[in-house]
Amino acid sequence: MKKIQILNWILRSLILLTFLATCFSVYIFISLYNSPPIDYSKVFPAYLPYTTILSGALFLVAMIYLQLSVNLFIKQGFFNTKSSGYLKLGAIFLALFGLTDITIATINNAFKANYDLLDYLNNNSSHIVTLIVTIGIFIVADIIKSGVTIKQENDLTI
């Protein structure tokens, strides 16, 4: 149970850091929007602030749902229906986060003159790992849901 509590604190820290980073992105976006007209398109694409805020928000929501699930593990034990549902919602938002960032990188890479597949895979390796972790979270959620069913049947037979 100590490891679950450590995971709970790590997720809380990630939530705080993600919230602060998203707020900082919004602040930068607002300050760039209110600055004198300067052409920032040579530095970064015009849609980059929107995608950064979207990615941050998706990751923040995913971490909140995963933290809620871990918190329920601590309070109610491993086999409860709510934690399984929160795990699935967290995995859905984490998958959306990974797919959004891969899509953004694909759009950015499509406009480059020299398209390099290895460079593209190198830049997206963390997002591909995020999708693999998401599949693992879905599997754990299904195992917990099956465990709830087995626990209920076991309680009825005794």
pLDDT digits (tens, 9 = 90+) for 21-48: 988 888 887 777 776 665 555 555 666 6
| CA–CA separation, 96 and 130 (whole Å) | 10
Nearest alpha carbon to residue 16 among 48, 59, 52, 46: 59
Nearest alpha carbon to residue 64 among 16, 1, 136: 16
Name residues whose C-beta falls within 8 Å of residue 35's C-beta, 6 or more positions apart in sequence: none
Range list of H helices, the chain: 2-34, 48-76, 81-110, 117-157
Name the band, by pLDDT with cuts 50, 70 and 90, for residue 86.
very high
| CA–CA separation, 43 and 41 (whole Å) | 5
Q: Which residue has the tokens 């607002």?
A: 30
In this predicted structure, the answer to whether residue 88 has a pLDDT above a threshold of 90 is yes
Q: Quick one: DSSP state of residue 46? A: T
Name the band, by pLDDT with cuts 50, 70 and 90, for residue 63.
very high
Residue length, the chain?
158
